[in-house]
Amino acid sequence: MQSEACYIGLMSGTSMDGIDAALVSFPDQGLKLHATHSVPYPHDLRERLHRLSQNQGGPDEIGEMDHQLGVLFGEAAQRVMEAGNLTSSEIAAIGSHGQTIRHQPRGQCSFSLQLGDPNIIVEQTGIATIADFRRRDMAAGGEGAPLVPAFHRAFFGKSGENRCIVNIGGIANISWLPGDDPDQASGFDTGPGNALMDAWCHHHTGRHYDENGRLAQEGEINEDLLEDMLSDGYFAQAAPKSTGKEKFNLAWIQTVLSRHPELSMADVQRTLLQLTVTTIAQQLDELPAEMVYLCGGGVRNPELVAALTQACPRHQIASTDALGMDPQWVEATAFGWLARQTLNANTGNLPKVTGARGKRILGAIYQP
């Protein structure tokens, strides 16, 4: 029997690769990762999600995906509980991010849509489930994203040391954690992380991602293409800002490429990698961080990490492993922590990050 409460965080990011589940507890203000489990999305589900995120599919499709994902999230929670040798009575809550199919934080009718019915997760697991983390922040005028900087601040901030955390998922986000004043912590989405590289690789090879950056390695950066991509208004936009696959997708690549018709597939792949690198490096350049810690799936792409290290000679770059947390599980763990915040009626957003009018308790609790 666990002495301190355990939580399950379920993360399914913009890469749409699957569900990461983390079973965590928070003893003595610290953090303990008890078990992890990943559930890759089946191929057809992934294809349907991609279509939905491109606005192809009506209410039936959305409803069915919401149900199917709810079942998969519930299973992921059960598997991670088994891996940790715990039973539902020992888990205080599940925090489920849900699968984003549309994120539109700007405009008069801003919204963000995550699928994975939490009612089904509760029924399958018997554990209180907290979901819909973004929309309260949005109702308070915020972007609803990114939400992980609050977790980064709570567990990775260090007095006397300026740090940045860079999470490279489908979209990349940065957290700035100043060593002298934790209240000045901030963060935002820098733009594409792996999303464009994945989209291009998939379009040409059928593979979901460019394993270890091999295809990119065969190509060269095309400076004209890079410059053209960097002229997209998102990169110059001031924070708070957040983005998603509804913007940075294959159609976005093809629009820019129509002005550069002669390029090889590998050169485009390498240039897309550099776009991720440059847009992160430009932001890091403006921050006096001594240390930069990377997390998310992008850490597993050695070409990407090498190019980023090269682009940031002023910074020392490591992965969150150096902080005692495997980079693959940071986001799932963050949603375990966010569940705990909500269950204890504590706020979960950082208004400096999202632009919300104030701190808010995030999400809705589905009681067992």
Ligand X SMILES: Nc1ncnc2c1ncn2[C@@H]1O[C@H](COP(=O)(O)OP(=O)(O)O)[C@@H](O)[C@H]1O
Using CB under 6 A, list all residues that contact ligand X: 13-15, 17, 169-170, 194, 198, 209-213, 296-298, 300-301, 331
Cβ nearer to ligand X, comparing 95 with 297: 297
CA 270 – CA 88 distance, rounded (Å) = 46
| Distance (Å) of CA 125 to CA 1, 4, 76, 81 | 18, 20, 10, 10
Give phi and psi for 35, each to the nearest 5: -160, 155
Q: Which does 298 bind (CB under 5 to 8 A by kind): Mg ion, ligand X, none?
A: ligand X
Cβ nearer to Mg ion, comparing 80 with 312: 80
Cβ nearer to Mg ion, comparing 15 with 274: 15
Question: Count of alpha carbons within 13 Å of 346, Cβ hemisphere only?
Answer: 11
Q: Which residue has the tokens 């209410």?
A: 59
Which of 17, 137, 189, 267 contacts Mg ion by CB under 5 A? 17
Q: Which residue is nearest to Mg ion (CB)?
A: 13
Cβ nearer to ligand X, comparing 2 with 217: 217
Q: Minimum distance between the CB of residue 115 and Mg ion, rounded to whole angstroms?
A: 15
CA 169 – CA 194 distance, rounded (Å) = 6
Q: Which of 264, 251, 252 is nearest to 215 (CA)?
A: 264
Residue 316, H or E segment = strand 316-319
Cβ nearer to ligand X, comparing 13 with 351: 13
Q: Minimum distance between the CB of residue 332 and Mg ion, rounded to whole angstroms?
A: 9
Q: Minimum distance between the CB of residue 42 and Mg ion, rounded to whole angstroms?
A: 15
Q: Minimum distance between the CB of residue 267 and ligand X, rounded to whole angstroms?
A: 18
Cβ nearer to ligand X, comparing 66 with 210: 210
DSSP per residue, 78-131: HHHHHHTT--GGGEEEEEE--EEEEEE-SSTT-EEEEES-HHHHHHHH-S-EEE
Q: Minimum distance between the CB of residue 230 and Mg ion, rounded to whole angstroms?
A: 26
Axis-axis angle for helices 265-285, 195-205 (nearest 10):
180
Q: Which does 46 bind (CB under 5 to 8 A by kind): Mg ion, ligand X, none?
A: none
Contact between residue 192 and residue 279 where contact means Cβ atoms under 8 Å apart:
yes
Contact between residue 116 and residue 73 where contact means Cβ atoms under 8 Å apart:
yes
Q: Does 13 bind Mg ion (CB under 5 A)?
A: yes
Query: By rule CB under 5 A, what count of residues binds Mg ion?
Result: 3
Q: Minimum distance between the CB of residue 21 and Mg ion, rounded to whole angstroms?
A: 11
Cβ nearer to ligand X, comparing 48 with 92: 48
Q: Does 15 bind Mg ion (CB under 5 A)?
A: yes
Give phi and psi for 295, each to the nearest 5: -145, 175
Q: Minimum distance between the CB of residue 19 and ligand X, rounded to whole angstroms?
A: 9
Q: Which does 212 bind (CB under 5 to 8 A by kind): ligand X, Mg ion, none?
A: ligand X
Which positions touch Mg ion (CB under 5 A)? 13, 15, 17
